[in-house]
C-alpha cells in the first residue's frame, strides 16, 4: 500500500476502518471488536483529526503489538502493512480478521463493533455471539426449566428400544436391548452419570413430553384449500412429541392431506402421488436436526393445493455456500445440533456425510417433479416443493384383491374389448349363474369399473376407460 492510498483510506472511516494514533490498549480493544463483528482495518499512526503522526515500528513496538494480540482471546489473525512516512517513521495498516470463535475478549472483556464504535458486549450479546459461532450448542446444554431439571424418568423407554431396533436394521449397529436406558443414553453422550444430568438432545430425542422443557420443539401443519395464504387454513394441527414421533407423524399427516390419486384400470389400481414422500421425510428430518432451538419458534409445514412449504428457524451456517447447497453441490457437513445429528445418523435417519440434500434434489428430479425453490429468508430455512401431475406423475400399480368370481367376470368383459358383451354371453363364458353375474356387474358398475350401453336389441357391458 502506498502512502497516498493510506491517506485516502483514512478519509473513509467506517465500520470496517478506524484510526489509532499508536499501539496501546485502545488498539487491543479494536482488534477484539473486529474479531467478534467482522474483518476490519486499524490505521495506526494517524490522529482522529486525520493528521499523520507516524510511529517508529522497531523491535519494541512490534513487541508491544504482539503483547496486545496475546491479551486477546481467541488471538486474532492479523496482517500488518508498514508504509514509510517521514524521518524513519511509518504508518501501519493492520487488517484484523473475523474470528471463527466468538466473542473475542481483550483483557477478559468481550468487545464488538456497533455503528462504527467499539463497545463492550452485554451478557445477552456474549450469548448471541457464542451461539452464532457454534461455541454454545443447544442440544449439549443440560435440560432444565425454571422449575426443574430433566430426569431419567422423563425418558420414554419404548422409544429407546425402537431406536435400538432401527439402528440394528438400518445400520447394523448393535447396543444390546438388555443394556439399561441410562447406559444407552450415556453411550450416546446424552446423559452424564457423574451428576445425573440429561442434556437437551436426550429429552428432544427420547423424552415423553419434550415440549414441557422446549415448547418450541414442535411442528405446526396448516392445510389450505387454495394456492395462497389469503384464506385461513381449514386445518391447523400442532404436533408435540419427541423427534422420532415428529418425523413419523408429520409425514403421515402429509400423506393424509395430500394422498395419492387413485384410478382403476381393469384389475389394477393405479396410485399417482403428488409428492415423493421420502423426499419430504428427508426435508423434515433436516429441518428438525438443523433448526435453531435457541429461537422460540416451531417448524411450520404449509400444505397448499399446488405445493408444500417447510420452514425451520435458523438459516444456513456461514461455512456453507447457500447457492452450492440449493444446487446439490455442497460437500460440507456443518451441524448446528451435533448430538441430535449423531443419534439420527446412528439409527439411519440421516447421512453423516451431508448427502441428505443431494438425495432430496435427486429424488425430485428423477421422478419428473418441478424443481424446488429455496428462497432466502432471514434467520430461517425454507423449502418449497411443488406437487406433481396426478394424471401422469409418479405412480405405483397394484393388482386388486378381488374374489375369483369377480376376476373372471371382469376379465371376460375386458377381453370383449370395444364390442362389449351381453349378460347372456357373460353367463355363458364365465360359467356363473345369471343371478351371480347380475349381482357382480351391479357392484362393478357402482365402482365405475364398467358401464352399460345398448347395442341393437341388447344391453352390452363395457369396461370404462381411464
| Judgement on whether residues 237 and 361 belong to the same structural domain of the protein | yes
Number of domains in the chain: 4
Beta pairing class for 17-20 and 40-44: parallel
Question: Torsion-angle region of residue 327: left (phi > 0), alpha (psi -120 to 50) or beta?
Answer: alpha
Range of the domain at 207: 139-212
**C-alpha cell belonging to residue 69:** 494480540
Q: Where are any strands of DSSP class E within 21-158?
A: 40-44, 72-73, 78-84, 90-96, 104-106, 109-114, 117-120
| Judgement on whether residues 366 and 339 belong to the same structural domain of the protein | yes
Alpha-carbon gap, residue 199 to 206, rounded angstroms: 11
| Judgement on whether residues 187 and 60 belong to the same structural domain of the protein | no
Q: How confident is the prediction for the chain on average, in pLDDT?
A: 86
At 9-65, the pLDDT tens digits run 888 767 789 999 999 999 999 999 999 999 999 999 998 888 999 999 999 999 999
> Residue 79 burial (CB < 10 Å; 0-12/13-18/19+)?
exposed
CB 320 within 8 A of CB 332: yes
**C-alpha cell belonging to residue 263:** 384410478
| Judgement on whether residues 230 and 369 belong to the same structural domain of the protein | yes
| Judgement on whether residues 198 and 277 belong to the same structural domain of the protein | no
Give the domain-ending residue among 181, 212, 243. Answer: 212
| Judgement on whether residues 420 and 445 belong to the same structural domain of the protein | yes
The CATH number that applies at residue 274 is 3.30.565.60
Alpha-carbon gap, residue 202 to 188, rounded angstroms: 9
Where does 188-239 have alpha helices with state H?
Answer: 200-206
The CATH number that applies at residue 410 is 1.10.10.10
CB 98 within 8 A of CB 34: yes
Look at residue 210 in the predicted model and tell me its pLDDT.
96
Q: Which helix (H) or strand (E) holds 381?
A: strand 380-386
In order, the DSSP letters of 311-350 are EEES---TTS-HHHHHTT-------SSHHHHHHHHHTTSS
Is the bond leading into 355 cis (omega within 30 degrees of zero)?
no
| Judgement on whether residues 353 and 433 belong to the same structural domain of the protein | no
The CATH number that applies at residue 98 is 3.30.950.30
Look at residue 354 in the predicted model and tell me its pLDDT.
59
| Judgement on whether residues 336 and 257 belong to the same structural domain of the protein | yes
At 55-74, the pLDDT tens digits run 999 999 999 999 999 999 99
Alpha-carbon gap, residue 56 to 173, rounded angstroms: 65
| Judgement on whether residues 44 and 78 belong to the same structural domain of the protein | yes
Look at residue 323 in the predicted model and tell me its pLDDT.
79
Look at residue 389 in the predicted model and tell me its pLDDT.
66
| Judgement on whether residues 118 and 164 belong to the same structural domain of the protein | no
| Judgement on whether residues 127 and 177 belong to the same structural domain of the protein | no
Look at residue 331 in the predicted model and tell me its pLDDT.
61
Look at residue 79 in the predicted model and tell me its pLDDT.
95
Give the domain-ending residue among 343, 375, 395. Answer: 395
**Which parts of the chain have pLDDT scores under 70?**
13, 175-178, 260, 262-271, 328, 330-332, 352-355, 389-402, 465-466
Q: Across the beta sheet with 268-272, what order do the strands follow?
A: 261-265, 268-272, 395-399
Residues making up the chain, counted from first to last: 466
| Judgement on whether residues 119 and 246 belong to the same structural domain of the protein | no
Could you tell me the CA-to-CA distances from 289 to 112, 311, 354, 356 in Å, in that order?
30, 13, 12, 12
pTM above threshold 0.75: no
> Residue 218 burial (CB < 10 Å; 0-12/13-18/19+)?
middle
Give the domain-ending residue among 157, 183, 212. Answer: 212
Amino acid at each position: 500500500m502506498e502512502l497516498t492510498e493510506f491517506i485516502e483510506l483514512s478519509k473513509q472511516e467506517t465500520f470496517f476502518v478506524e484510526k489509532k494514533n499508536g499501539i496501546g490498549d485502545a488498539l487491543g480493544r479494536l482488534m477484539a471488536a473486529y474479531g467478534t463483528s467482522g474483518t476490519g482495518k486499524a490505521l495506526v499512526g494517524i490522529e482522529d483529526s486525520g493528521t499523520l503522526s507516524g510511529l517508529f515500528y522497531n523491535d519494541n513496538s512490534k513487541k508491544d503489538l504482539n503483547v496486545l494480540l496475546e491479551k486477546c482471546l481467541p488471538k486474532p489473525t492479523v496482517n500488518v502493512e508498514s508504509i514509510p512516512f517521514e524521518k524513519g517513521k511509518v504508518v501501519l495498516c493492520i487488517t484484523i480478521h473475523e474470528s471463527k470463535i466468538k466473542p473475542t475478549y481483550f483483557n477478559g472483556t468481550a468487545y464488538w463493533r456497533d455503528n462504527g464504535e467499539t463497545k463492550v458486549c452485554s451478557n445477552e450479546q456474549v450469548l448471541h455471539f457464542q451461539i452464532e459461532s457454534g461455541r454454545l450448542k443447544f442440544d449439549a446444554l443440560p435440560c432444565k426449566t425454571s422449575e426443574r431439571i430433566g430426569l431419567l424418568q422423563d425418558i420414554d423407554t419404548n422409544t429407546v428400544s425402537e431406536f435400538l431396533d432401527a439402528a440394528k436394521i438400518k445400520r447394523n449397529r448393535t447396543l444390546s436391548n438388555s443394556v439399561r436406558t441410562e447406559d444407552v443414553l450415556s453411550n450416546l453422550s446424552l446423559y452424564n452419570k457423574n451428576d445425573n444430568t440429561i442434556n437437551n438432545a436426550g429429552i428432544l430425542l427420547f423424552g415423553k413430553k419434550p415440549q414441557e422443557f422446549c415448547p418450541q420443539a414442535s411442528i405446526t401443519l396448516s392445510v389450505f384449500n387454495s394456492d395462497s395464504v389469503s384464506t385461513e387454513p381449514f386445518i391447523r394441527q400442532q404436533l408435540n412429541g419427541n423427534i422420532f414421533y415428529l418425523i413419523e407423524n408429520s409425514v403421515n399427516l402429509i400423506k393424509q392431506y395430500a394422498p395419492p390419486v387413485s384410478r382403476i384400470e381393469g384389475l389394477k389400481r393405479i396410485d399417482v402421488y403428488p409428492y415423493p414422500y421420502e423426499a419430504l421425510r428427508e426435508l423434515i428430518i433436516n429441518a428438525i436436526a438443523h433448526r435453531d432451538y435457541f429461537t422460540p419458534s416451531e417448524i411450520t409445514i404449509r400444505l397448499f393445493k399446488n405445493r408444500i412449504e417447510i420452514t425451520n428457524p435458523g438459516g444456513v451456517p456461514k461455512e456453507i455456500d447457500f447457492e452450492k447447497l440449493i444446487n446439490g453441490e455442497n460437500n460440507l457437513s456443518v451441524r448446528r445440533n451435533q448430538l441430535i445429528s449423531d443419534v439420527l445418523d446412528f439409527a439411519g435417519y440421516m447421512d453423516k456425510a451431508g448427502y441428505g440434500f443431494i438425495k432430496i434434489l435427486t429424488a425430485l428430479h428423477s421422478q419428473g417433479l418441478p424443481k424446488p425453490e429455496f428462497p432466502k429468508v432471514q434467520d430461517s430455512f425454507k423449502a418449497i416443493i411443488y406437487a406433481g401431475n396426478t394424471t401422469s406423475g409418479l405412480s405405483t400399480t397394484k393388482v386388486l384383491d378381488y374374489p375369483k368370481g369377480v376376476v373372471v367376470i371382469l376379465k371376460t368383459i375386458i377381453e370383449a374389448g370395444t364390442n362389449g358383451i351381453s349378460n347372456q354371453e357373460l353367463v355363458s363364458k364365465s360359467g356363473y349363474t345369471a343371478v351371480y353375474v347380475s349381482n357382480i356387474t351391479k357392484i362393478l358398475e357402482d365402482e365405475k369399473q364398467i358401464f352399460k350401453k345398448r347395442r341393437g336389441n341388447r344391453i352390452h357391458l363395457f369396461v370404462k376407460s381411464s
